[in-house]
Structure 1
Amino acid sequence: MNNATKAIFLVIALTVSQLAWAQQPVASDTTNALTQLKPTPEKNELKYNLNQSGSHFFKATFLNQAWFRFNQSNPGSTVIGEPSNNTFDIGLRRTRMQLFGQISDHVFLYIQFGMNNFNYLNGGFNPTASSNRKIQAFFHDAVGEYLVFKNKNLLNIGGGLTIVNGLSRFSAPSVSSIMSMDVPVFAQATVDQTDEFSRKLSVYARGQIGHLDYRIALSDPFPIQTSGAALPVYSQNANFALKGHHKQYQGFFMWQFFDKEAHQAPGYNTGTYLGVKKMFNLEAGFITQKNATASIPTAGDTTYHAMNLWSVASFLDMPINRQKGTAVNAYLGYFHTDYGPNYLRFNGIMNPASGLTTGYPAGTQGNAFPMFGTGSVVYGQFGYLMKRDLFGAGNGTLMPYVQAQVASYQRITETMGVYNVGVNYLIKGHNGKFTLDYQNRPYYQAAGNQYAPGGRRGQVTVQYQVFI
């Protein structure tokens, strides 16, 4: 256990001990003794108040998302050197802890620590060397924020390692409150290329003024050389540049017609409020960076390209019948994704395959598909929350959903469609839920400098989420 991990666990231990101590009653007389016999209301959070009103506090949360998955492998896939037509794997999609609090009227601290995508391949299987299954957890966020106006979110200024992002609400998702099993990862546009799991070193301003929720950020992206993967090779297809270093400029804006979005954790956007709030937003965002990528045109010199990404979208999350507890969630967005000419990146979430047999395009193994590319994407989702206590008091309810990601990228010959259908069994809202998800995706084969679809494959996943 490294020093950072020890420090995190020490803080948690102290926080929990303070919580326990603060809640101990003092039985100095008969009245206090009788008070101890009264049942204490069930708590749903680990929170320690720093003042009597609770306006100053410190809080800890814990999240675990376990996946149990059957996948039809893309053609040519291998698992530890053996051809594999399908796989079954067990993994941890996300394991996280958050420590945050309003330390004073003007000071807010937010820290997140954890790991992602941990399965039997350990996220970094190397067939030519011994691997290390003790994958290091890391700091996702470490940010301090200054609230300029007391008790108001008109202007908050922050800095550090943070997910405060432009482009879209799904570029900075609150993963504990996802409506579907997983977020559309393409919206985390530079994930693990020039960022740290979508986080960047940034300085930002955010706030809510009337119906407007806004955030703007200046980010210092990481060089591609620090990604831990093989360095890109320049060709006629753009890839992240190996030379030069330029800042990123980002912005995201929401016009909120009804209730206001949650605004406590810096940058994070709620997936669904499960009918508690009445939300309808129009949203727009962007990310831009000078000379972010490079290519070498035929018989030419290295050419550098700006990265320009923007999106527009609508978001709906509101109750239908408050007495019954029914609600809907819907999102529809258009994404313009310009990484430079012919940029394309295959990606498979927690990929269950480790390699390919000879003759298949690199990076297409397992459950991978062209997730990121120069072109455009339309993404939509819809979910329906069924009546409260559908299976009896305390036994939870269901929320079925559908998702669609339709992309037109320069390097694929036809429009790509990736579709998901699933259902959440909400045992205790987002604090305890099972999700059953089926994904249908295309697989690809090389067609000159492009990729052509060769057929389709499916994936079935059960997720169990526990969150407090």
Structure 2
Amino acid sequence: MKYLLFTCFIISSSVGFAQVPSGPASSGADKSELKYTLNQSGSHFFKVTFLNQAWLRLNQSNPGTTVVSTPKDNTFDIGLRRTRIQLFGQLNDRVFMYFQFGMNNFNYQNGFPAFNTAGTPSNRKVQAFFHDAVGEYLVFKNKDYLKIGAGLTVVNGLSRFSQPSVTTIMTMDVPVFAQATVDQTDEFSRKLSLYARGQVGRVDYRFAISDPFPIQTNGAAPPALSPYSTFALKGHTKQFQGLLLYQFFDKESHQSPGYMTGTYLGKKKIFNLEGGFITQKNAMWHREGTTDTTYSNLNLWSVATFLDMPLNKAKGTAISAYAGYFNMNYGPNYLRYNGIMNPATGSSVALPGVSGIQGNAFPMFGTGKVMYAQVGYLLKQDLFGAGNGTLMPYAQAQLGSYERLTKTAGVWNLGVNYLIRGHNSKLSLDYQNRPVYQAEGTKLAPTGRRGQLVLQYQVFI
């Protein structure tokens, strides 16, 4: 770790103190970037970025929640949702390289319990890892028709929110359900993949063949074989995925592998239709009767529309909106709870066929259908005076109709961004309201609702 930080320091120092070329090559240089140009025109470059998202959170605990073995009805925690370093560049006319290193969901209970399942001490310092390590080749010079890449990458199918640019999201956090296999058979939504992507006319496409990780390597005890579908502990097959977008107005940036912008804050006029899929043979299994083990394919697909455009260019107002339908088939009765940077460590109650129900968790992934939508409005620039930023309020909704639930699970968020300096420095205040459940036979029935309030400060360069 110390060698990586030393390398980043040397690179950033070199960038910061590098002499800017004179003449036309230096015109329009962005002084807010840590960027080192490799040729006179600046088309070949290497760049370093840093991101930190700090959370302050109040949460109403799910029933039975415990924190280090003590019952807690409410929690307050401080954490780092994401801390990342990106290193990437266009090395020549055809070759692009991208690396990302960092950590996620780091709060006071990181590394809990005191001893892991192997009986050895846990370690709160083991957290950061490479998210991405990918090289990409441009087949047709100066044309985005076809790029071929390989490595550990976020290039995914299903939807734009399966590969989000987390520095530019409009809502305080992304709809994580769209990262459908996150930390099950991937590494925080990244996969070892061979992919092809490009833009031909108004069509933007990406297709990938991925080599999933075994579920046994995700750091959690694998669930027991039961009537409820889970990721299979035996067998290994490749995963196939793709995403197609039709762009009616401006084309979206196609430089970095995979990552898709959350909102352009009125800088572009975007209206897209998209459709995506992920499929994998025999990825899931469950038990029928008392002895029969049955395998199922993983089949996920979605259709959606995305709008992000200025309303009044003189004032700087803009709108951003997304609406999508997701058909999620993980096999019979699959259901998985997830709580983002969960502030709790355990639960005194149990629900059949699910785990991790404590704290702020809710049924996020499951076999069934999901409707997701978000909308935001960017107020006029310099709302609080020149150089003092503006506001962007938003709302989002996730409606999950899963086989294991007796009623549709509705999760609602309302929030506002204070864009002090665009996405580079912003405060976000978000309130989320979610359902809680009890057992009703083999299914789960809602018994009430809980809320959480989060204040996030993002700094990015």
Does the residue aligned with 1:9 lie in a helix, a strand or coil?
helix
Quote the residue 1:168 is aligned against.
Answer: 159
Quote the residue 2:75 is aligned against.
Answer: 87
C-alpha contact 1:80 1:127 (8 A) present in aligned 2: no
Q: CA deviation at 1:360?
A: 5.7
Percent sequence identity over aligned pairs: 69
Q: CA deviation at 1:149?
A: 1.4
Quote the residue 1:101 is aligned against.
Answer: 89
Q: TM-score of the superposition, structure 2-length normalised?
A: 0.95
What are the equivalent positions in structure 2 for 1:386-465 lying under 5 Å apart?
386-465=379-458
Q: CA deviation at 1:42?
A: 7.0
Return the alpha-carbon distance in structure 2 between the equivalents of residues 12 and 155 of structure 1. 31
Does the residue aligned with 1:302 lie in a helix, a strand or coil?
strand
Return the alpha-carbon distance in structure 2 between the equivalents of residues 154 and 424 of structure 1. 36
- For residues 222-268 of structure 1, the C-alpha deviation after alignment (integer angstroms, 9 at most, x for no partner) is 00010110012111111000100000000001000000111111000
Quote the residue 2:460 is aligned against.
Answer: 467
C-alpha contact 1:195 1:221 (8 A) present in aligned 2: yes
C-alpha contact 1:167 1:252 (8 A) present in aligned 2: yes
Quote the residue 1:12 is aligned against.
Answer: 8
Select between 358-367 and 343-352 the one with higher mean Cα deviation: 358-367
1:368 maps to a residue whose letter is: A
The structure-2 alpha-carbon separation of the partners of 1:317 and 1:234, relative to structure 1 and needing over 3 Å to count, comes to same
Return the alpha-carbon distance in structure 1 between the equivalents of residues 40 and 30 of structure 2. 20
Q: CA deviation at 1:358?
A: 4.4
The structure-2 alpha-carbon separation of the partners of 1:10 and 1:79, relative to structure 1 and needing over 3 Å to count, comes to same
Quote the residue 1:253 is aligned against.
Answer: 244
Does the residue aligned with 2:181 lie in a helix, a strand or coil?
coil
The structure-2 alpha-carbon separation of the partners of 1:285 and 1:356, relative to structure 1 and needing over 3 Å to count, comes to same
Q: CA deviation at 1:44?
A: 1.6
C-alpha contact 1:76 1:360 (8 A) present in aligned 2: no
Does structure 1 residue 202 correspond to structure 2 residue 193? Answer: yes
1:76 maps to a residue whose letter is: G
2:216 to 213, 225, 244: 225
Return the alpha-carbon distance in structure 2 between the equivalents of residues 300 and 281 of structure 1. 48
Return the alpha-carbon distance in structure 1 between the equivalents of residues 79 and 395 of structure 2. 23
RMSD of equivalent CA atoms = 1.7
Return the alpha-carbon distance in structure 1 between the equivalents of residues 29 and 389 of structure 2. 20
Count of aligned pairs: 452
C-alpha contact 1:141 1:163 (8 A) present in aligned 2: yes
C-alpha contact 2:53 2:458 (8 A) present in aligned 1: yes
Does structure 1 residue 234 correspond to structure 2 residue 222? Answer: no
Quote the residue 2:54 is aligned against.
Answer: 66
Return the alpha-carbon distance in structure 2 between the equivalents of residues 289 and 403 of structure 1. 30
Quote the residue 2:35 is aligned against.
Answer: 47
Return the alpha-carbon distance in structure 2 between the equivalents of residues 130 and 243 of structure 1. 29
Does structure 1 residue 120 correspond to structure 2 residue 108? Answer: yes
Gaps of 5+ in 1: 27-39
1:265 to 256, 268, 282: 256
Gaps of 5+ in 2: 23-27
Does structure 1 residue 151 correspond to structure 2 residue 139? Answer: no
Does structure 1 residue 290 correspond to structure 2 residue 281? Answer: yes
2:63 to 65, 75, 79: 75
The structure-2 alpha-carbon separation of the partners of 1:437 and 1:305, relative to structure 1 and needing over 3 Å to count, comes to same
The structure-2 alpha-carbon separation of the partners of 1:158 and 1:291, relative to structure 1 and needing over 3 Å to count, comes to same
Return the alpha-carbon distance in structure 1 between the equivalents of residues 148 and 402 of structure 2. 37
- For residues 418-453 of structure 1, the C-alpha deviation after alignment (integer angstroms, 9 at most, x for no partner) is 000000000000000000000000011112211111
Q: CA deviation at 1:123?
A: 5.3
Return the alpha-carbon distance in structure 1 between the equivalents of residues 112 and 207 of structure 2. 34
2:411 maps to a residue whose letter is: V
Return the alpha-carbon distance in structure 2 between the equivalents of residues 187 and 442 of structure 1. 19
Select between 279-288 and 9-18 the one with higher mean Cα deviation: 9-18
Return the alpha-carbon distance in structure 2 between the equivalents of residues 277 and 334 of structure 1. 25
- For residues 354-384 of structure 1, the C-alpha deviation after alignment (integer angstroms, 9 at most, x for no partner) is 0111456642110010000000000000000
Does the residue aligned with 2:127 lie in a helix, a strand or coil?
coil
Does the residue aligned with 1:97 lie in a helix, a strand or coil?
strand
C-alpha contact 1:117 1:123 (8 A) present in aligned 2: no
The structure-2 alpha-carbon separation of the partners of 1:205 and 1:467, relative to structure 1 and needing over 3 Å to count, comes to same
Quote the residue 2:25 is aligned against.
Answer: none
The structure-2 alpha-carbon separation of the partners of 1:123 and 1:337, relative to structure 1 and needing over 3 Å to count, comes to farther
Quote the residue 1:345 is aligned against.
Answer: 336
1:213 maps to a residue whose letter is: D
Does the residue aligned with 1:146 lie in a helix, a strand or coil?
strand
Return the alpha-carbon distance in structure 1 between the equivalents of residues 39 and 260 of structure 2. 28
Return the alpha-carbon distance in structure 1 between the equivalents of residues 21 and 156 of structure 2. 45
Return the alpha-carbon distance in structure 1 between the equivalents of residues 94 and 349 of structure 2. 59
1:387 maps to a residue whose letter is: K
Does the residue aligned with 1:177 lie in a helix, a strand or coil?
coil
Return the alpha-carbon distance in structure 2 between the equivalents of residues 258 and 6 of structure 1. 46
Return the alpha-carbon distance in structure 2 between the equivalents of residues 221 and 375 of structure 1. 22
TM superposition outliers: structure 1 runs of 4+ over 4 Å:
126-130, 358-361
Does the residue aligned with 2:157 lie in a helix, a strand or coil?
coil
Quote the residue 2:375 is aligned against.
Answer: 382
C-alpha contact 2:88 2:97 (8 A) present in aligned 1: yes
Return the alpha-carbon distance in structure 2 between the equivalents of residues 157 and 146 of structure 1. 5
C-alpha contact 2:155 2:208 (8 A) present in aligned 1: yes
1:396 maps to a residue whose letter is: G
Quote the residue 2:178 is aligned against.
Answer: 187
Q: CA deviation at 1:454?
A: 1.0
The structure-2 alpha-carbon separation of the partners of 1:313 and 1:329, relative to structure 1 and needing over 3 Å to count, comes to same
Select between 255-264 and 356-365 the one with higher mean Cα deviation: 356-365
Does the residue aligned with 1:14 lie in a helix, a strand or coil?
helix
